[in-house]
Structure formats: structure tokens, C-alpha cells
Chains A and B, each alone.
Chain A
Amino acid sequence: MKLKHAMIVFKKEVKDLIRDRRTVITSILLPMILIPAINIIMGGSVQNFEKTINENVSVALSQASDTDEIKKFVQEKILSKNPNLVLKEPDDPQKALENEEIRCIIDVESGYREKLEAGVPIKITLLYDESKTKSSTAAEIVTQAVNDFGSDIIRERIAALGLSTDILQPVAIEKSNVAKENQGSNMVLQMMLPLLISMLVSVGGIPAATDLVAGEKERNTFEPLLTTMPDRSSLLIGKYMAVTLFSFVSVAAILAGFAIGYAIDPNSMTMGLDQQVGGFAIEPLAIVLAILITITLGMTFSGIQIALSTFAKSYKEAQTYLSFLMLAAMIPGYATMFLQPSDLSTVMFVLPVMNTISAFKMLLGGNIIYSDLILALGTSIVFVILTLWLASSLFKKEKVLFRS
């Protein structure tokens, strides 16, 4: 292998790919536009949805309970606790519930006043539609308001007996959070960022890999290339470097997309989940190790992508193989998505994709174990060597190169 030859191929491939509108649009422009747009729209939708289901919760009394006395009781004792609850007076409450004009019907049993005075439990029935989120949430809100009313009654009764309400709480629980300042506050980042980076690095080079070998074969440019002076290894390394570069270009584009989204609306980072993105205090060595692990993951996948593209007879065949590769990268990503940094085991730092996710989770969790990060980097380097060897073997195999 001669680096000079590999660099000639690399430079040409980068020039070629940059001029490919399809690659530029899908790998660079779309992520930079779509990511902030999706995050802002999703963030806005989540917030709007939460607002809609929690605010202006219209309820009505059942026909049997529709008396001035009960209306006054419900309004003053139950609904006044929550300003979002609004009592409506439809002609037919049942129909109004079906038509979603109201979200819940409250039925208070007759004789409730006497029962309350006698200290006998009264029955309040809620009619709602479990299949509708707005209705089931309204039932929960009304239930909470009724429970609050019940608590008030208990307090009144205990006071009437001359006792302290403290007897209702025999044990008081005090919680103390021992997490460091940035731990726990980056929940969304711990979940999303490692998954996104690992997945994007794994799939970012796919358009380039498809084009650079299978595409060349299909366009009949591959055989003339093989008859030039450089050996196969130099040609392969040049292409491999271009694919690896593009893996990181698409990651950079997506991270830029997040940054643009954050600049427009900081809430977009957490997709409206009302969580704060906390500050970071990560040791520089840990950051360097995590970056190296990510780079080696990108190189590992570039090797696999070039190998599959070499094996494919046509551009379409390569696209099919590489879409499966995307799936293979997604499985470990989603499997570890909800793991907390404290749940990470050493085995996870050995497996491809999972090791990068684990390294980033550890970084964002703040509790750095360097031996695990070094293990992840070591195994990643082994994967790079193995996949490069696989790609190189296929690139030299006549049966594979001239499969058509």
C-alpha cells in the first residue's frame, strides 16, 4: 500500500462525492434543516398536547345530579381546587361526552349531605371514555380533586375530635439527592446523544460507500481504475478514508442541526419534555477517549460498508445490504437507550456500537471509569483491523470483484 496513491484516490473521491447532489442533500443539508425542524415541531407539539389535555378540562354533572344544590357542592368543594376544571351544563351530558364537548361526567349520589354529616362514605361516580386521552386524563384530574376534597374532610373530622393531623402521617420521608450537579439533569442527553452519535457514525458513510465501489462497478469505471498503477490496497484505503470522512461529515451535519435547533429554541433539545440540559464538567482525557472510540466505530463501519459494497453486484444490491447494516446498528442502540450510566457493565464496553454508546453515557453521567473507556477503545481498534482486513480480502478477490 502506498499512501501517495491512497491520497490521490481519496482526494478524487471527496471531490466526486461533494459534487454528488444526492449525497450532499441527504448527508449534509437535510440533517441540518430537518433535525432542528423536527425537534422544534415535536417540542411544540408535545407542549401543545400537554397544554390541551391539562387545561380547560370541561366536565358536567349527570342528569340525576343536575340540581342546584349538587352543582353548588361540586363547584365549591371539588372543582374550585383546580382552576383548569370547568363545569359545563349540556342538555344531554351523555351525548356531550360522546361528542367530546365535555370530557367527564360527575355523578354524586343523592343524600350525600346526610351521609357526609353522619360520617358515612359518599359515592361519586365518574363517567369517562378510556379510549380518549383527553377524557381519561380529565377523569384523573377530577379524581385528584375529589381526593383533595376527601383529605379536607378527614382533616376537619380529626380537628373536630381535638386531634392533630400529624397522626395521619406516622412516618415522614426526607429525600436527599447525592448525585453530582450535572448527574441526572442530562437525562435526555444521556438517552439521545449516545444513541444518535453511534447510529449516525454507523450509517453516515452508507451513501458514499454505495457509490464508491458498487456505484463504480455499475458505471463501468471500476475496471479501468484497477488497471492503473496503484495496487488494490492503495485504492481500497483511498476509498475507505473517503467513506470514513463522510461518516463524520454527516454526524457533524446532524450535530450542527441540533445546535441550530437549540439556538432557535433551547427547548427543542429535549423535545418539549420540560427537562433542563445541565452543565458539563467532564475531564478532557475522558472526552478524548470517547472521541477516539467514536472515530474507531466510524472506521469499523466504513470497513463493513466498503466490504458489502464490494461484494454487491450492483448499486441496488449494495443499498439492500447496507440498509440491513443500518438495522444492525440500530438494535444495540435502542437496546441500551434507557440504560442509566450506573447500569453499564464492562461487557458493554467490548461490543461494537454498544461500547460507543456506553462511553458517551458514562461521560454524560459524570462517573468516569478509565479502564472501561480504554477497554472500549482497545476493542474498537480490534474491530477496525478486522473489518479492514475483511474489506481488503474482498477487494482482492476476483470472484467478488467480477461477480457480474
Chain B
Amino acid sequence: MIEVRELEKKFGDFTAVDKISFEVSKGEIFGLLGENGAGKTTTLRMLSTMMKPTSGHAVLNGYDTQTEPEKVRTHIGILFGGETGLYDRLTVAENISYFGELNGMSKDAIKDRLRQLAQAFGMEDFMDKRASKLSKGMKQKAAFARSIVHDPEIMLFDEPTSGLDVTAARDVHEFILRCKEKGKTIVFSSHSMSEVEKLCDRIGIIHKGRLVECGGIEELKEKYGNDNLEEIFIRLAGAK
């Protein structure tokens, strides 16, 4: 479903992502674990075709990010952490519809989808309210709905709980698990060990642009003889 081979990104002399390779199977949650500046966001930006790799390849759903970026984009949904990134002067329905239209959905399909999403996220009461008038929780629901309006097979989450309180972070976790239930393939970046442990099937530990370890959580615990993922992370990040 996602195949990353020797993916590299350089900004001048600085190597942000250093020839990383990993695979994510359909319906799997893959966690990219790393400190701030490790290269997680740059990796996700390359997967979402926002950035072009300096070398290497990333193939999503059979489409190469460099040769068929438009097709890649129709198959992905993305959610960023911190601000929800909604258009304040548009209503929730307009925000979601805009992304539906941009992703090639017909007006009728968008209408049906809006109904489904409003019901799924309990947004019926505020679909016609402008985003600026919403509470943080409402905005978050709208952002979730917007990211999956076109029903993408692949979801990319870039530190989605960054800056959120416990309840909001929990909502994000539930949303990610819901995506998994629907069979979506998920890449999820975080620097929180507990979050990664709670959600991910497999993880890749990224440090200074390099993927220093990759595998199932239990597999890694067994390999390093330690039950504490944080200690494994410190050991790997400190050693490399």
C-alpha cells in the first residue's frame, strides 16, 4: 500500500531525510517516532507530494509521488496537529465541500457525504455555522470530516495531537482507530511514546533524518530486551 525506498531530502547541505525505507500494509497504522526536527514532517510532506524528494521513491496505492502526484493526492487524506486549518469565514459544510470538490467529487456525492459525515461525527447542529464561531472540539470534528470527505484509502497524520488537551487528543486517537477500522492505511508521526504504543501496529524510529529502527512494537521490545519503548528510543537515538 505504501512503499518508501531510499527516500532522501536535502536542503542545501543539510540532509533532512536520509535515505529512509519502509513499507506500510493496507489497514496498518505505522508510527514515525522521532524528536522535533528528526525529519518526520519532511517525510510526510514527501509522501503527500507537497515536497519532491532529492532521491529515492515513494509509491502510494501503486502511484509514484513524483510521476503521478495528482493520483497520489486523490488517495490520501491528511490531518495536521495544532491548528485545525479550517477557513474561518466558511461554514463547516462549505469547508468540507470545498475539499470534496477539489478532490474531484460531484455535487451529489458531496451532498450525500456531508450527511454521512455530519451523522458520524455528531455535527448536525453546526454544519451551517461558520468555523470562526465553533468551539475547539467542534472545529476538530470538522477537520476530521474534511480530511476524509473523499474517502481516501491512505491517511497521513502529522503530529495530530500536538498542542491538544487530553480530551481532544483522545478524540484524535479515536478518529485514527476509526480510520483503521474502515481499513485505511495510516502513517502517523509523533514524539509521544504512549500515543505510538497505544495506536501503532509498527513503528519507525527516525533520528536526524535516518530511520534507525523499524518493526512491530512487541518485536522491538523483544529485540532490545526492554519493555519500555521510551528507553529503547533513548538508546537508539543516543547511540546513533
A and B pair up: yes
- Whether A226 lies near B102 (C-beta < 8 A) is no
B80: interface (CB < 8 Å): yes
Known A-B contacts A227-B78, A398-B52; A220 and B85 likewise in contact (beta carbons under 8 Å):
yes
A24 nearest CB across to chain B (Å): 11
B109: interface (CB < 8 Å): no
Number of interface residues of B (CB under 8 A): 34
- Whether A223 lies near B52 (C-beta < 8 A) is no
Instruction: Tell me which of B82, B85, B88, B102 contacts A229 (CB under 8 A).
Output: B102
Instruction: Tell me which of B11, B70, B86, B103 contacts A221 (CB under 8 A).
Output: B86
A12: interface (CB < 8 Å): yes
Q: How far is the CA of A8 from the CA of B78 in the complex (A)?
A: 20
B73: interface (CB < 8 Å): yes
A40 nearest CB across to chain B (Å): 34
Instruction: Tell me which of A19, A223, A229 contacts B80 (CB under 8 A).
Output: A223
Mark interface residues in B32-75 (1 if CB within 8 Å of A CB, else 0): 00000000000001001111100000000000000001100110
Q: Which of B82, B94, B98 has the most CB of A within 10 A?
A: B98
Q: How far is the CA of A398 from the CA of B156 in the complex (A)?
A: 19
B198 nearest CB across to chain A (Å): 25
Instruction: Tell me which of B45, B76, B80, B102 contacts A402 (CB under 8 A).
Output: B45
A228: interface (CB < 8 Å): yes
- Whether A220 lies near B78 (C-beta < 8 A) is no
Taking CB atoms, residues of chain B closer than 8 Å to A8 are: 98, 101-102
- Whether A221 lies near B102 (C-beta < 8 A) is no
A399 to chain B: closest residue by CB: B11
B168 nearest CB across to chain A (Å): 16
Q: How far is the CA of A9 from the CA of B89 in the complex (A)?
A: 15
State the main secondary structure of chain A at its contact with B. Answer: helix
Known: A15-B90, A231-B69. 8 other contacts (CB 8 A): A9-B102, A12-B90, A16-B90, A219-B85, A223-B80, A227-B73, A229-B70, A398-B52
Taking CB atoms, residues of chain A closer than 8 Å to B84 are: 220
- Whether A227 lies near B90 (C-beta < 8 A) is no
Q: Which residues of B contact A (CB under 8 A)?
A: 11, 45, 48-52, 69-70, 73-74, 76, 78, 80, 82-90, 94, 98-99, 101-104, 130, 146-147, 156
Taking CB atoms, residues of chain B closer than 8 Å to A20 are: 89
Q: Which residues of A contact B (CB under 8 A)?
A: 5, 8-9, 12, 15-16, 19-20, 219-221, 223-231, 398-399, 401-402
Q: Which of B84, B101, B156 has the most CB of A within 10 A?
A: B101
- Whether B83 lies near A219 (C-beta < 8 A) is yes
Q: Which of B86, B88, B89 has the most CB of A within 10 A?
A: B89
Q: Which of A9, A227, A228, A231 has the most CB of B within 10 A?
A: A227
- Whether A227 lies near B76 (C-beta < 8 A) is yes
B75 nearest CB across to chain A (Å): 10
Instruction: Tell me which of A9, A220, A229 contacts B73 (CB under 8 A).
Output: A229
Q: How far is the CA of A15 from the CA of B78 in the complex (A)?
A: 24
Q: Which of A221, A224, A402 has the most CB of B within 10 A?
A: A224
